[in-house]
Amino acid sequence: MNMSRRHVQVSEELAHMAGEFLAREVANPSVYGLITVTRAELSDDFRNVTVFLSVLPQTKENEAIHFAKRARSDFRKYVKEHSFLQPIPIIDFEIDYGEKNRQRVDELTRK
């Protein structure tokens, strides 16, 4: 997929905003674990974005993803208040299994 410079910039900005938003909203990391935004994938028409998360410890992934999905409308409002994007994309959150697999490969190659 050949992405335009603007597409890359908007994706990176949304990932950055998601990181800031989640850092601010997760008041108790012992409940949800450490949530890190790894990347954001923006649709070609800029109308949908999937924000990918990594969660430590992995046992907290379910709690973290449920929290993030419940906070989608609040994050959309945050994006509206902190950016000039038009239209504001529909937001979804997912666990970044690609990052998880990369970490596992790193772990195996170190042995």
**Tens-place pLDDT, residues 41-95:** 999 999 999 999 999 888 999 999 999 999 999 999 999 999 998 889 999 999 9
Give the range of the structural domain holding residue 98, as residue numbers without chain letter: 5-109
Using only C-alpha atoms, the chain has a radius of gyration, in whole angstroms, of: 15
pLDDT for position 98: 81
Specify burial of residue 88 (Cβ count, 10 A radius: 0-12, 13-18, 19+): middle
Tokens at 14, concatenated: 């949304």
pLDDT for position 100: 67
39 backbone dihedrals φ, ψ, rounded to 5° = -175, 170
- What CATH number did the domain enclosing 35 receive? 3.30.300.20
pLDDT for position 110: 79
Total count of domains within the chain: 1
Tell me what the pLDDT averaged over the chain comes to: 90
Single-letter code of the amino acid located at 8: V
Q: How many helices (H) and strands (E) does the chain have?
A: 5, 3
| pTM of the predicted structure, to 2 decimals | 0.86
pLDDT for position 28: 76
CA angle 74–79–80, rounded 5-degree value: 95
pLDDT at 2 over 80: no
Judge contact between 35 and 28, C-beta under 8 A.
no
Which residue did the predictor score with more confidence, 97 or 75? 75
The H or E element that residue 35 is part of is strand 34-42
